[in-house]
Amino acid sequence: MKILVINGSPKKENSDTMHITRAFLEGMNEAGGNEVKTIDVIDKHIEYCRGCFACMRNGGDCIHNDDMRPILEEILESDLLIFSYPLYCYGMPAPLKALLDRTLPLSSMAMHKVGERYEHVGQADFSHLKYLMICGCGFPNSQHNFEPAVAQFKLCFPNNHTMITVPESPMFKAPEAAEVTAPRLELVAEAGKQYAETGRIDEALLSEICSPMIPEDVYAQIVNGTVN
Ligand SMILES: Cc1cc2nc3c(=O)[nH]c(=O)nc-3n(C[C@H](O)[C@H](O)[C@H](O)COP(=O)(O)O)c2cc1C
């Protein structure tokens, strides 16, 4: 399988979230070899979409000539897109949102009704693509936190999507937290293997992965103890 990891953390390989993503990929690779490419979005020159809609009108050509051109090609050549990113203000970091906006050339201006909502008709065929969101965050609570990011992901990618949201993710970089992070990453690897083999993750496993690793109040106390 051709996998494109779109790393939206400005911390690149030092991203807390990428600990989860790497464990997931290890699990996927256990089930069989994959071709994995990672894009660090922060390093890419991606202009903001100007909203001119030129790309939707004239066969998909954007007015900008920047790194988004090869990225669009890589997206279409992939089987699976993994959006790995930290929750920023209940959504995705701005550089990743800029990339998402610039996928507009893949759609045409025409819209059609699918179920109860309207979607743009594709200019490219991306029906083969699967979408995985892996999102870490700094608070211990998932509710009243991840919902906007989850809703956006589902609306952007209504088909073939899977979402992993992990609270308390700064713990992944703390060696003293290994007692709880190592078993969690093992579960993530198991999920990756399952996903590679069946195209889905068992609900019970997913909800365990998405739960806090230590009680919310204990986590908050630890974080507050490091604040001076
Ligand atoms: C600008 C900014 C906004 C943030 N907003 C949230 C938020 O809405 N909810 C949350 O739980 N954590 C929030 N965080 C914390 C990050 O999600 C957290 O530090 C995460 O572990 C960083 O992951 P990374 O190392 O993969 O970039 C925010 C951090 C920054 C820098």
pLDDT at 97: 98
**pTM metric for this prediction:** 0.97
| CA triple 89-168-27, angle to 5 deg | 110
pLDDT at 59: 77
> What atom in ligand 1 is closest to the CA of residue 139?
11
Look up the domain containing 138 and give its range: 2-225
pLDDT per residue, tens digit, the chain (228 aa), is 999 999 999 999 999 999 999 999 999 999 999 999 999 999 999 999 999 999 998 677 999 999 999 999 999 999 999 999 999 999 999 999 999 999 999 999 999 999 999 999 999 898 999 999 999 999 999 999 999 999 999 999 999 999 999 999 999 999 999 999 999 999 999 999 999 999 999 999 999 999 999 999 999 999 999 876
Enumerate residues lining ligand 1, CB below 6 A: 9, 11, 15-17, 86-90, 136-139, 145, 169-170
Report how far residue 225's alpha carbon sits from residue 227's, in angstroms, rounded to the nearest whole number: 6
pLDDT at 227: 75
Which of 19, 89, 92 maximizes ligand 1 atoms within 8 Å of its Cβ, making it the mutation to test the pocket? 89
* Burial class of residue 33 in the structure, from the number of CB atoms within 10 Å of its CB (0-12 exposed, 13-18 middle, 19+ buried): exposed
C-alpha 92 – ligand 1 centre gap (Å): 9
C-alpha 110 – ligand 1 centre gap (Å): 36
What CATH code is carried by the domain that includes residue 200? 3.40.50.360
Report how far residue 205's alpha carbon sits from residue 162's, in angstroms, rounded to the nearest whole number: 13
pLDDT at 118: 96
| Total count of domains within the chain | 1
Question: If we measure between CA atoms, which residue out of 157, 166, 154, 218 comes closest to residue 191?
Answer: 166
C-alpha 217 – ligand 1 centre gap (Å): 18
> Is the sign of the CA dihedral 154, 157, 159, 163 positive or negative?
negative
pLDDT at 149: 98
